[in-house]
Each structure stands twice: as structure tokens, then as C-alpha cells.
Amino acid sequence: MYDDQIYQSRDLAYKRPYGAVPSGTVVEFTLRPQRQEGFSRGVLRACYEFDNNRVEERPLVWTDTELGVDLFTGSLPVGDYAGLVWYSFRLETLGGKSKELGPYQLTVYDPTDVVPSWFGESVCYQIFPDRFCRTEVPNPFGMVGSRTVHGRWDDEPEWRPNENGEVRNRDFFGGSLKGVEQKLDYIASLGVETIYFCPIFEAAENHRYGTADYDHIDPMLGTYEDFTRLCRAAHALGIRVILDGVFNHTGYVSRYFNGDGFYPNCGAAQGKDSPYYDWFQFHRWPDDYESWWGIYSLPAVNKDHSDYRAFIYGDENSVIRRWLRAGADGWRLDVADELPDDFVRGIHEAVRAENPNAILIGEVWEDGSNKVAYGVRRHHILGHHLDGLMNYPFRSALIDFLLGDNGEHFQNRMETIRENYPPSAFYSAMNALGTHDTLRILTYLGVGSQRYEWSKETRAKYHMSSAEIVWGWRRLQLGLMVLFTFPGAPTIYYGDEAGMQGFEDPFNRRPFPWGRENQDILRFYRKMGQLRRETACLRRGDFAWGDCRRNHISYTRTLPEEGVAVAVNNGTADSQVSIPWPFPHAVDLESGHRYIASREGLLSIPVKRMGGVILHYQGRRKDAPHPGTT
């Protein structure tokens, strides 16, 4: 049972401090029942899930009365515990009546894990390497997999199943690391300070998620030297590089499984005496084995095997450490939920040992603070595991708002994340409106739910109408205002800034339309990216909500001497938004209009229908008399 009149976990009048807390914190609670209910005592019950569900009960003592409300207060010292605490309250009367509230989640994290701040401060750019930029049409002869290469860069990716009913993903376009290096100035023009690469290691498929050889760059992408040179060039422009770590499975066509015998060494499919045999789990050798989600081309790896762990992260020359030494600045872990916690912790230790300033991001689609995967509550962001997560809850909530949901729902969904996540994880989240696993955002916002009614052939050929592009772009502008100003790393999926369209894979993975970019969309992305890069309070400022009722989202990002206020309106009528503001005034970055804060510390801002504003102030906080007085 929950009763917001008695207890609100997000309000400092009821719980201090706000949200997740570090080990060693004493959490203070206050309940506020109506005096007429006659409660005389209360009990706080705390269950420490990560300590064998140990239960502790502590008293809640009556301390005062305020305007017909009784105050019952108590505290919970969490000690050196790190994990989830599920707490609840029981209020009792002298006559035996009782009321129970809860359970509520309290996240307790290990503060000894210092998370590098640079990722969450920066704009991130996700590249699907085969489709970004090529410098020449490659010859696939001698490469792993029976590859074909599109001669035309603007060809459509293959999507129809072959004669065996399979979509092999063996058609390549030939994007390369040299192509990315040639476009670094373009990437930097978007305000980008982090590039996140989808897999770049040798693989038979164009997506390269079925790794064939972790030791080598795919030859169609380039060489080890190409990678190190790219990293040096990126670093010279202030851009870091994150790699995709795919460690739940390898490829059927790989040096380790070697299902088709391409590699000269003895893979697990060639013989039980292979050094890789125990990396895999055979039900009946050689053709019946555990595979990722039943996909035979992705044999699942035994992640508990000591040799595999040593190879990935344990050895001095492990995959994790070697590519950090080559120039990478961090890793994103594919399907992090399916890696055991101690495996992730081992990767984390290897990352920090090799480069204390490197980052480790995990792919998790839900609230990562309380995620249960394979019957196990995960340690993802409790410390010494993942530094941040892909923020799909943010994407879902923001898209829902852009398509007409009310701002209060967005606020509540984001407050759940902010309350449950350690601050470092909240500010290091990878926020995106589109990725290689989702529809192109312009298509989603312009076409909407109609996609579910169409055949795949229709989706493959579909081009948005002018009206759909206009509506998609109007919504996307509002989304970008939020994306680039919200806590976490705003992440651009390559080509979204050029106005690329497309439904699901492979239509969301078309080649970048060089020379055919939508210039209006590109200009807006550049403006927002540079704003993020150049505005300190958007990179690391405190966050506070404004008015999020009905059609509005509004909030502020502040530092002691700088602030930004953001307000967007998804409605069909102009509106007025009120935002608490600790500075004397604010300037609309688009129009230049100055808004004066009221004596009560509020900004009243007009917001046009399907519009948004970003206001800025730089200077001293409003500690002196109001600037309108003499």
C-alpha cells in the first residue's frame, strides 16, 4: 500500500537524503499521517536483499504535530552494506489499528568506485562501421564468411531470406576505419566528444556481433594500425573512442568454434581436443550446442570457464586490456544482463587497471538498479561493475511524450530512474532516441504505430511523405532539446542528424547519405551539440524539475554561476510554464528575449504549441536584492 499524504520517498520532507545513498549513510525518515487517525507509534522494517534478506526493524517516534498532521521520525544506518534495501512502514494505534506502507526501494552503492565523469558530460556518436563511410569498394576475397559487397553506396541492404529461409547478413557496403578518420572533422562539428563503435572485430556478418577473432580488426574495416591512427586523430580533436564488447557468444564462423572450418586451427567444432572446446556447451557434439537465443550462428560461450575469462579480461594481454592500450577509452558491454556479475566485475577491474579514466557502459533495456536476469538480481550500478547503462527507459518515456503523452508521466518515469540510480550512474547514462536496435527516430515520430500493420516488404520500400517528415521533424526538435540538455550522455545514432529514415534492422542500418543530408535537421543537431559541448551546466550541472503538468516538460540545470532552463510543449495550443529559478533573469537562446525572475524566484515562460525554449544565465546566483529594486 502507498499513501502520498503520509510518505513520499522523493520529497526531502519525508526522506533525507534524496534517492540512492552511499554505504555509511544514515537515512532519515518522516511519516505524516493525519492526527485524526490516532496513530501512537510506528515501525520501520528494512530488508537487506543482498545480505541474505536480513530484516531489521527500527522505531518511528512521534516528534511533533503540524496543522493536524502527526510527525513520526526514525533513521536507518545502512552501515557498510551495498545493495538494495526494501523498506516499509507500519503505523499503529493504541487500540490495535494499524496501517502498512510499502515496500519502497532504497539503493545503497559502494562509494569507493570513482566513475570517470567525461562520458556523461559529452555528446556521444554511435557508428555502425560498415555503413558510415567507405574510401573504396573492398574485395572480399579470402575474408571470413561468404561475403558480397554492394557496388553502389546507396543500394538497399539485403533483407529477404535465402533459399534456406535465413537472413545471413553477409552483404557488406565496405565502410572502413579510414572512412571514419576522414569524417572526424564532420563528427566534431556535431559537438561530439565520444565515438561509440558497434563491433569492429573480424566477423562473417555485416553487423559483426558474431565475433570471429577478437585479436584482429575485420580486414574490410582496416588494420590494427588503422585503429591506432584513428584513435590518435580522434584524441587530437578531443574525441574519445568506445568499443563494443560482445562476450556472450562468438560466431559459428569463428576461430574458436570454427563451424565451417575456415580457420586452419582446431576449433570446438573440429575436435574435442581443441583448446576452445570447453568454451562451449555441447548437448551432442558437434552440431547440438547452446546458442544465443537459439540462433545457431551464435554459439553461446561458457562464461564461467577460467580460460575464457583469462582471455577476455584476466590476462595482462587480454582482449579488454589490449584494445585499451591500442587507443580505446572504454567499452560498451553487449547484453550485459547475460554476463555473470563476477564476469562484469572482472572486466571492470581490468578496465580500471589498464586505464583508471576508461569507462564501462552496459546494454540494459530496463531500470538497471533492480534488474533481475536469469533469476538473479544484478549488481550493475552498485559499484565496481558498470559505470553507466544505455538509458532505454529515457528513450521510451521521451518518445511517448513526443507522441502525445503528458509531461507528468515523463517526469514520474525519469524520477524513478533518478531516485533508484547512484548519481554517477544517472549522470553517466547513455541517452539516445535511436540505436542500431531501434527504428530510425524520424520514421518513428513521423509514421508512428502504423508500422505494425505493414508487411516487411512495404516497410523496406517505404519513404515518408512530406507531411510525415514535417510532423516527425517537429516532434524530433522537441526531443532533441530534451536529449541534449538532460543529465546523461546525449547519443546520436549515425545518420539521424542527416534525416535518415527506416524501420527495423536492416532498414535502420542503411549507408550514410553523404551529400544528401537534410540540412535543416543537420543544422539543428549541430546547434544542440555545440550548446552541450560549450555549456558547463549542461555537462555537469544539478538537475531540478519545473512544471511537468499536461503538455509540458520543464527543468533546470544549474551550477553556482550558470544556469539553463528548458521547457517544451507537445500540445496544440500555446502555453505558459513556471520554473523555479535561482538567478535574477534568463535569456532565450533563440530569440534573445530576457525574462526577469519574480521575487519568489520563478520564471514565467511562454511556450508555443509544439515548441520549446532554452534559457541561459551566466553570473552570480540571486543572493542580492532583486535587480528590479533600488
Residues known to be catalytic: 334, 363
The answer to whether 536 and 562 are in contact (CB under 8 A) is yes
Torsion angle defined by CA atoms of residues 129, 189, 446 and 444, in that order, rounded to the nearest 10 degrees: 40
The answer to whether 552 and 482 are in contact (CB under 8 A) is no
Question: How many Cβ atoms sit within 10 Å of the Cβ of residue 405?
Answer: 16
Please name the residues in contact with 532: beta carbons below 8 A apart, sequence gap of 6 or more.
Answer: 123, 191, 484, 485, 490, 538, 539
Which amino acid type is present at position 555?
A: Y
C-alpha grid cell for residue 401? Answer: 511524450
The radius of gyration of the chain from alpha carbons, rounded to an integer in Å, stands at: 27
**Alpha helical stretches, state H, 149-201:** 177-182, 184-189
Mapped onto helix, strand or coil, the DSSP state of residue 407 is helix
Cα gap 275→279, rounded to integer Å: 8
The answer to whether 337 and 126 are in contact (CB under 8 A) is no
Mapped onto helix, strand or coil, the DSSP state of residue 439 is coil
Cα gap 26→18, rounded to integer Å: 12
C-alpha grid cell for residue 521? Answer: 535537421
Beta-strand pair 388-389/359-362 = parallel
Cα gap 303→343, rounded to integer Å: 7
Please name the residues in contact with 599: beta carbons below 8 A apart, sequence gap of 6 or more.
Answer: 626
Sign of the CA dihedral 14, 18, 23, 25?
negative
Give the DSSP letter string of 520-576: HHHHHHHHHHHHHHH-HHHHH-EEEE---STTEEEEEEEETTEEEEEEEE-SSS-EE
C-alpha grid cell for residue 217? Answer: 580488426
Mapped onto helix, strand or coil, the DSSP state of residue 248 is coil
Helices then strands, each counted (H, E), the chain: 15, 32
Cα gap 315→141, rounded to integer Å: 34
Cα gap 227→217, rounded to integer Å: 8
The pair phi, psi for residue 537, each rounded to 5°, is: -70, -20
Cα gap 86→79, rounded to integer Å: 15
C-alpha grid cell for residue 535? Answer: 555549456
Question: How many Cβ atoms sit within 10 Å of the Cβ of residue 338?
Answer: 18
Sign of the CA dihedral 491, 563, 543, 4?
negative
C-alpha angle with apex 507: 139 to 515, nearest 5 degrees?
70
Q: Return the residue matching grid coordinates 579470402.
A: 142
Please name the residues in contact with 283: beta carbons below 8 A apart, sequence gap of 6 or more.
Answer: 289, 290
